[in-house]
Chain A
Amino acid sequence: MTDATHGPDAVTGVTPDTGLRIAEERHNGEMVAADGTPLKRSLNRALRREKLRALALIAPLFLFIVVTFIAPIADMLFRSVENQIVSETLPRSVIALEAWDGEDTPEEPVFAALAQDLAIAVELKNHTRLGSRLNYETTAASSLFRRTGRAADDIGEEAADQFVELDPAWEEPATWIGLMASEDWIADQAEWAAEAEAAGRDAPPEPRFALRDGVAEALPRTADMYGAFARVIRAEDADSPTEEDPWPIVYRALHDDLVANPDAAASFEGANAQLLGVAAGAVPSFEVTGFRDTFLDIDEDWADPTIWGTIKAFSSPYTAGYFLSAVDLQLTADGVAKQPEDRQIYGLLFGRTLFMSLTIMGCCVLLGYPVAFLLANLPMRSANVLMILVLLPFWTSLLVRTSAWKVLLQQQGVINDLLVWSGIVTNAGRLALINNQTGTIIAMTHILLPFMILPLYSVMKTIPPSYVRAAKSLGATNFTAFRRVYFPQSVPGIGAGCILVFILSIGYYITPELVGGTTGTFISNRIAYHISQSLNWGLAAALGSILLAVVLMLYWLYDRIVGIDNVSLG
């Protein structure tokens, strides 16, 4: 036994202990795997492959959730700040308003821009939507835009009549095409028309209208409006400017252009120049009403700086306006202000939603705890029967349960009848148990109770009965043993149940709608109202975002105080 190195303890190959050293010696400090690549790299590669495989496995679900759940919600919530409608519907007016001081009725250029914007908006049928949008911020905007929209067709009519009187050629679509359209477009259009004739119904759409070079400089307003006219009738009615005479507002624009630039004809040639030259000579004697007077004539509300202030305040493509409305504030031309008294309801509703959700949660704990305790401590056979009683309503349709509560709770309902029959209340003094907060709290406590009982039950099931027995054997009374030994161990179940019940109830909709009347409704009923009735989707989105934020904040708070790890579902 002299040569110890050949004994059983002798090291002959690489061991975990020596591997590091050997590797360091061989490869300047890099560990290598069996195939000679550095261990770090090969490990990373293996891990990455693993991760990719895991990702590929969850990818379908993940994509499904993103596409069908997260993206639509994000899109909906995005509406709470979106506000392109004002700047898209009234682009010219918004620019013209930049110079407005905000004090008096704006000047002529603003009204001229509005007339042009409205002429287009009415054709596109956007003006009522804009009116509704502005009405969220200032009363009477909707009716103002509707009334004006009905009269907007006539703006510029007098100018059109006088042009036609001057020369009937102005009535011909061809005159305008010759004046406004580019040579290329005319050629393309002719080619298209021939093809369309042959193709019949399946013809491709007409080529996009293009303005003649130089028109935009010589007759800027006319070019702008005629271009819009050609664009709109092509998109909306599939009509061609070669067949339709322009809107009256185009004539009016031409009148204004020629007044501003009597030498515009110089930019044209031949018959066009002559036609324009004659017109330029005649326009100073045309009788036209100013745009400002026209609008004030249609509706004197246009003189009110409020509507203009609102347009200006909401001209940016993104707005905090909806969020401000959602907290009973409003954005005015002079900054943020409180909503008028009779429109302040969201603070009230948010408060009521929180209060009622907490009440329902409290009721669920009070009613659910004893039931869960009983379930957890009864012998298996009877516990199972009781469990079915808990689950049976859980499996019944929500609507059926809510309607059943209606039958029970109404003034001529079962509960009141019983109370009257037993003499507890008089016939005249029947209790109002439905269509108010009481109704909502009763019905929702019942509906959400299983969400409290189930987590409580599964936590209580895991509490060994021997602990309570041990406490008693050490001299604790029943109450002390429950309070100091059993109850603390069931707290994670209470936490889980509370979170479930509270988060479910804060967004509840159908039950409060059916049994809540006017005082027992939640903020979610208001959101539903804005989605389906008033169509104020921006405000609905803002209210929804706030609700989501409140829930997340409460969750965070709960995590800080109770600790989310202490929550157990079983």
Chain B
Amino acid sequence: MKLKSLMLTTSAALLAVPALAQDMADEMTIVSWGGAYQNSQLKAYVEPYQEMHPEVQIIWDESSAEAVAGMRAQSEAGNITWDLVDVTAADSMRLCDEGLAMEIDPDEILAEAPDGTPASEDFGEEMLVSECFIPQIAYSYTFGYRTDVEEWEGRTPDEICDVFNLEEFPGQRSLEKRPHNNMEWALYCDGVAWEDVYDTLETEEGQDRALAKLDTIKDQTVWWTAGADTPQLLADGEVVLGSTYNGRLFSVIEEQDQPVAMLWDAQSYDLDGWVIPDGLDEPTLNRVKDFLYFATDTQRLADQAAWISYGPARKSSAPLVGQHAELGIDMAPHMPTNPDNASNAFVQNYEWWADYRDDLDSKFQAWLAQ
């Protein structure tokens, strides 16, 4: 009997949907990164949104790492199953260039700041890196190190080039299995000034030079692909020094209380945000826009910072960033944008990477395999 009544309600619900769906779909598939980051999105604006609209079902898909491949496959198959996709700035440029993501006008679909500043100004040009990108957060790639390494005899790494210094700081390192950032750090530590790094990387010699520098630590390096790898390796003592997203290190240090410290020097800024796949049907698109308007407003982005140590993309959100929602510690000193942390930071040149990633990727992967 129970089953029967359940089936009756379900079919009644199914019948009722088309009537409602004329305006907005009730189901939305959001693609994100999983882990602590997805949790911050859930707490800061997905759950509040569902409270306001109890009829909305959210389906999570943790496929952001393969977002470009997935969206291209869906577009080729003519069957778009993702409705809103969380991607990095560089991926958003690629998706926009290939016409896989929808171009948007921030002032039209995003909320104004509380003081009436239009969205495009509130985010600012440096955040709106492509015509399809709706920024959420600024994060950084940075290093964490263990504070209890005996061989270091009390020394602590305080600058980026200590990563390449095996004499003073012996032990395994972990680096990302991609050329991004690694090449820049290698060249910088090989004596190239920040402003010349990308010009140097454009040349064959510059690329070889960066790889040669990485060669010096290649046999002491574990290569990571998931953001959770380095925190795990650091916590296990498997590596003594490793790069990852700053938010992951925050949770190792503050939430899990491991003997790990941040090396903010030469952190590399990157952005993360939403793109809307091109070719959504009208009701779904309406729902996505409705959600986005809410999820990227000033308060919601500030709320997100209470769950993870990433800087909100809106200028107007910064003063609203307060304390961690559970630990009750001040979040501001843990933000990558905090002046104390940002002294020698560099901003990844997304446009340059969009142009050269094919070249450098294949070269880097071949170098890794050899």
Contact = CB atoms under 8 A, between A and B. Distances in A.
B69 A343 contact: no
Nearest to B222: A435
Given A342-B367, A411-B238, A142 B98 contact: no
Interface stretch (A19-27, A57-65, A217-225, A344-352): A344-352
Contact of A124 (B99, B361, B368): B99
Interface string A126-158: 001101100110011011001101000000000
B223 interface: yes
A125 B99 contact: yes
B97 A125 contact: yes
Contacts of A146: 97, 354-355
Contacts of B69: 531-533, 535
Given A128-B97, A342-B366, A348-B370, A534 B355 contact: no
Most chain B CB neighbours (cut-off 10 Å) among A124, A139, A518: A518
Contacts of B361: 533-534
Nearest to B170: A428
Contact of B222 (A513, A517, A526): A517
A518 B223 contact: yes
Contact of B369 (A136, A518, A534): A518
Given A411-B172, A532-B65, 20 more contacts: A124-B99, A128-B94, A129-B98, A132-B358, A135-B359, A140-B359, A142-B359, A143-B356, A146-B97, A343-B362, A345-B365, A348-B369, A348-B370, A412-B236, A412-B238, A517-B222, A521-B369, A532-B66, A533-B66, A535-B72
Given A125-B97, A411-B172, A535-B68, A139 B236 contact: no
Contacts of A529: 365
B363 interface: yes
A306 interface: no
B355 A147 contact: yes
A410 interface: yes
B237 interface: yes
Given A125-B98, A410-B236, A518-B223, A534 B356 contact: no
A342 B66 contact: no
B369 A345 contact: yes
Interface string B95-108: 00111000000000
Most chain A CB neighbours (cut-off 10 Å) among B356, B358, B359, B361: B358
Contacts of A345: 365-366, 369-370
A124 B100 CA distance: 11
Nearest to B68: A535
Interface in A423-443: 435
A143 B355 contact: yes
Contacts of A411: 172, 238
Contacts of B356: 142-143
A132 B223 CA distance: 25
A135 B355 CA distance: 11
B182 to A, nearest CB: 13
B151 to A, nearest CB: 9
Most chain B CB neighbours (cut-off 10 Å) among A344, A526, A532: A532
Nearest to A139: B359
Interface in A516-550: 517-518, 521, 526, 529, 531-535
A517 B222 CA distance: 7
B368 A518 contact: yes
A337 B369 CA distance: 22
Contacts of A532: 65-66, 69
Contacts of A412: 236-238
Contacts of A348: 369-370
A311 to B, nearest CB: 16
A135 B359 CA distance: 7
A522 to B, nearest CB: 11
Given A517-B222, A517-B223, A534 B362 contact: yes
A533 to B, nearest CB: 7
Contacts of B68: 535
Given A132-B358, A411-B172, A531-B69, A343 B363 contact: yes
Contacts of A128: 94, 97-98
A349 B355 contact: no
22 contacts: A125-B97, A125-B98, A125-B99, A128-B97, A131-B358, A132-B358, A136-B362, A142-B357, A142-B359, A143-B359, A342-B363, A342-B366, A342-B370, A412-B237, A518-B223, A518-B369, A526-B365, A526-B369, A529-B365, A532-B69, A534-B362, A535-B68
Contacts of B365: 345, 526, 529, 534
A307 B129 CA distance: 29
Contacts of B354: 146
Interface in A469-517: 513, 517
A132 B222 CA distance: 29
Nearest to A133: B358
Interface in B326-370: 354-359, 361-363, 365-370
Interface in B212-238: 222-223, 225, 236-238
B222 A344 contact: no
Nearest to B357: A142
A140 B203 CA distance: 10
A278 B98 CA distance: 41
Contacts of B222: 435, 517
Contact of A349 (B223, B357, B367, B369): B369
Nearest to A125: B99
Most chain A CB neighbours (cut-off 10 Å) among B72, B355, B356, B368: B355
B359 A344 contact: no
A135 B361 CA distance: 11
A128 B369 CA distance: 27
Contacts of A521: 369
Contacts of A125: 97-99
A495 B172 CA distance: 42
A345 B370 CA distance: 7
A532 B65 CA distance: 9
Most chain A CB neighbours (cut-off 10 Å) among B68, B238, B363: B238
Given A132-B358, A534-B361, A343 B369 contact: no
A498 to B, nearest CB: 28
Nearest to B151: A428
B347 to A, nearest CB: 19
Nearest to B69: A532
A60 to B, nearest CB: 24
A135 B97 CA distance: 16
A349 to B, nearest CB: 6
A183 B357 CA distance: 50
B96 to A, nearest CB: 8
A435 B354 CA distance: 30
A526 B366 CA distance: 10
Nearest to B361: A534
A561 B367 CA distance: 39
A-B interface, 9 closest residue pairs, ranked by CB to CB distance from nearest: A125-B99, A143-B355, A135-B358, A128-B97, A142-B358, A532-B66, A532-B69, A412-B237, A345-B369
Contacts of B357: 142
Contacts of A534: 358, 361-362, 365
Nearest to A352: B369
A511 to B, nearest CB: 14
